[in-house]
Structure 1
Amino acid sequence: MTLLSSLPRKLRFTIVLAAAASLAAGLCSVGMIAVINRVLATQGAGAARLALPFAALALAVLACRTLASTLFVQVSQSALARIRAQICARFIGAPYAHIEQTGNARVQAALADDSTHVANGLSVIPVVLTNAMVVLGCLAYLAWLSWQTFAIACAIILAGSWFYHRNHRRALVHLKQASAAQDVLHGQFKALVAGARELKLNQDKQHGFLHGALEASLEAVRAARTRGLSIFFVALGFGSFLFFAVIGGVLFAPRATPLAPAVMTGFTIMFLYIMSPLESLLNALPALSMARLAYARIEALGADAEPEAPARPLPAAPFVSVALAGASHRYFHEAENSFFALGPVDLELRAGEIVFLVGGNGSGKTTLAKLLAGLYPALAGEARYNGAAVDPTHLADYRALFSAVFSDFHLFETLLAHDPRDDALANRLVERFQLGHKVSVRDGRFTTQALSQGQRKRLALIVACLEGRPVLVLDEWAADQDPLFKEIFYREVLPELRAQGKAVLVISHDDRYFGVADRVIRIENGQIAQPARDGGAPAQAPQAPPARRHDDALAAPAA
Structure 2
Amino acid sequence: MKFIKLLFAEAGDDRLKLLLISILPGIVMAVVIALVTTVSNNDSAQNLHIVALGFFTLGCATVLFTMNRALNAMTMLVSGFLDRKRLAIAQQVRGLNLTSFERIGSTRINEAVGRDLQTIDETAPAVVALIFFVMQLVASALYIGYLSILAFAVTLIFLGAATYFYRRSYVDAEELWKEATASESAFRVSLDHLLAGFREVKLNTGRGEDLFVNHIVPRSHSVEKLKVASGRGFNRGQTLSDVFFYALMGAIVFAIPHYLSDTSIPGKITLVIVFSSGAIGSIIRTLPMVARANVAVENLERLDQDLATARGALPDSGAQREARLAEGLNARALTYSYVDPAGGPGFAIGPCDFDLAAGETVFIVGGNGSGKSTFIKLLTALYEPDGGVLRWDGRPVSAANVEAYRGLFTVIFSDFHLFDRLYGIEEVDPDQLQRLLKEMRLEDKVSFEGGRFSTTDLSSGQRKRLAMIVARLENRPICIFDEWAADQDPDFRKYYYETLLPQLKAEGRTVIAITHDDRYFHVADKIVWMEEGRIVRVGRGA
SS at match of 2:105: helix
Cα distance change, pair 318–72 in 1 and its aligned pair in 2 (3 A): same
Within 5 Å, which residues of 2 pair with 1:345-356?
A: 345-356=352-363
How far the C-alpha of 1:265 sits from its partner, in A, is 1.8
SS at match of 1:520: strand
Cα distance change, pair 317–206 in 1 and its aligned pair in 2 (3 A): closer
How far the C-alpha of 1:333 sits from its partner, in A, is 5.3
Deviation string for 1:120-148 (max 9, x for gaps)?
23221111111121111112212211221
SS at match of 1:124: helix
Cα distance change, pair 55–227 in 1 and its aligned pair in 2 (3 A): same
Q: Does 1:431 align with 2:438?
A: yes
How far the C-alpha of 1:273 sits from its partner, in A, is 1.8
Distance of 1:231 and 1:7 partners within structure 2:
26
SS at match of 1:327: strand
Partner of 1:550: none
SS at match of 1:68: helix
Q: Structure 1: which amino acid aligns with 2:350?
A: G
Pick one of 403, 406, 412 that aligns with 1:399.
406
Cα distance change, pair 323–256 in 1 and its aligned pair in 2 (3 A): farther
Higher helix proportion: 2
How far the C-alpha of 1:393 sits from its partner, in A, is 6.2
Cα distance change, pair 361–336 in 1 and its aligned pair in 2 (3 A): farther
How far the C-alpha of 1:60 sits from its partner, in A, is 1.1
Distance of 2:516 and 2:342 partners within structure 1:
24
Partner of 2:169: 167
Partner of 1:549: none
Cα distance change, pair 221–85 in 1 and its aligned pair in 2 (3 A): farther
Deviation string for 1:457-478 (max 9, x for gaps)?
1111111121121112111111
* Alpha-carbon contact 1:415-1:444 (below 8 Å) kept: yes
* Alpha-carbon contact 2:170-2:234 (below 8 Å) kept: yes
SS at match of 1:529: strand
Q: Does 1:250 align with 2:252?
A: yes
Q: Does 1:535 align with 2:541?
A: yes
Pick one of 90, 99, 116 that aligns with 2:101.
99
* Alpha-carbon contact 1:470-1:501 (below 8 Å) kept: yes
Partner of 1:387: 394
Distance of 2:3 and 2:252 partners within structure 1:
44
Q: Does 1:306 align with 2:307?
A: no
How far the C-alpha of 1:373 sits from its partner, in A, is 0.6
Within 5 Å, which residues of 2 pair with 1:389-468?
A: 389-392=396-399, 395-468=402-475
How far the C-alpha of 1:236 sits from its partner, in A, is 1.4
Distance of 1:300 and 1:209 partners within structure 2:
29
Distance of 1:202 and 1:384 partners within structure 2:
45
Pick one of 349, 370, 380 that aligns with 1:342.
349
Partner of 2:238: 236
SS at match of 2:305: coil
Pick one of 63, 66, 70 that aligns with 1:64.
66
Pick one of 452, 472, 479 that aligns with 2:479.
472
Pick one of 136, 148, 154 that aligns with 2:156.
154
Partner of 1:557: none
Partner of 1:110: 112
Question: Which segment drifts farther, 310-319 or 473-482?
Answer: 310-319
How far the C-alpha of 1:210 sits from its partner, in A, is 5.0
Within 5 Å, which residues of 2 pair with 1:190-205?
A: 190-199=192-201
Identity, % of aligned positions: 30
Cα distance change, pair 449–335 in 1 and its aligned pair in 2 (3 A): farther
Pick one of 90, 99, 119 that aligns with 1:88.
90
Question: Which segment drifts farther, 273-282 or 71-80?
Answer: 71-80
* Alpha-carbon contact 2:334-2:353 (below 8 Å) kept: yes
SS at match of 2:310: coil
SS at match of 1:355: strand
Cα distance change, pair 318–480 in 1 and its aligned pair in 2 (3 A): closer
The CA RMSD over aligned residues, in Å, is 2.7
* Alpha-carbon contact 2:323-2:405 (below 8 Å) kept: no
Cα distance change, pair 520–99 in 1 and its aligned pair in 2 (3 A): same
SS at match of 1:303: helix
Q: Does 1:25 align with 2:25?
A: yes
SS at match of 1:253: helix
TM-score, L = length of structure 2: 0.91
SS at match of 2:333: strand
Cα distance change, pair 316–370 in 1 and its aligned pair in 2 (3 A): closer
Partner of 2:182: 180
Deviation string for 1:148-190 (max 9, x for gaps)?
1221111112111111221122112211111111112222332
Structure 1 unmatched ranges of 5 or more: 537-559
Question: Which segment drifts farther, 196-205 or 436-445?
Answer: 196-205
